[in-house]
């Protein structure tokens, strides 16, 4: 499953939440821009249709939440769902193998984390 954000800033935050700023700073990452074929099956999740409103709050995904996502992906090639990390943003999820013929990569750029987001440990004064 591919889990990405509609905008690059949210993508950075999503990766930071799941992997940490250390990983973003020390492991190579790529930002990808893609175009989804107009005929592709894109489902936009209405937040009111989410069975448990707590799923839109930060936390460890529950078994029910994971099953809900799996069911959406079984019915739709692409799913757009509200971001929990950034409440005014949206994420795009899809299974790459199932959707390979429905999107085109427009660009891929090497990601470079702003070093202010992973500063050195504070030095104690003596």
Mean pLDDT of the 57-74 span: 94
* Cβ contacts of 72 within 8 Å, gap of 6 or more: 43, 45, 79, 81, 93
Task: Give the confidence band of 56 by pLDDT, cuts at 50, 70, 90.
Answer: very high
What's the pLDDT at 78? 94
Domain boundaries along the sequence of the chain:
2-113
Helix residue ranges, H only, 39-106: 63-75, 96-99
Task: Give the confidence band of 87 by pLDDT, cuts at 50, 70, 90.
Answer: confident
pTM score, whole prediction? 0.81
For 6-33, the pLDDT digits (tens) are 888 888 888 899 899 999 999 999 998 9
């Amino acid at each position: 499953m591919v889990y990405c954000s509609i905008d690059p800033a949210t993508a950075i935050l999503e990766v930071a939440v799941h992997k940490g700023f250390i990983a973003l700073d020390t492991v190579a990452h790529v930002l990808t821009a893609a175009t989804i074929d107009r005929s592709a099956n894109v489902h936009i999740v209405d937040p009111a249709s989410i069975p448990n409103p707590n799923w839109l709050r930060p936390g460890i995904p529950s078994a029910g939440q994971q099953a809900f996502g799996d069911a959406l992906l079984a019915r739709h090639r692409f799913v757009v769902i509200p971001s929990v990390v950034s409440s005014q943003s949206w994420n795009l999820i899809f299974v790459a193998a199932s959707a390979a013929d429905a999107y085109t990569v427009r660009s891929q750029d090497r990601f470079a984390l702003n070093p202010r987001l992973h500063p050195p440990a504070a030095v104690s004064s003596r």
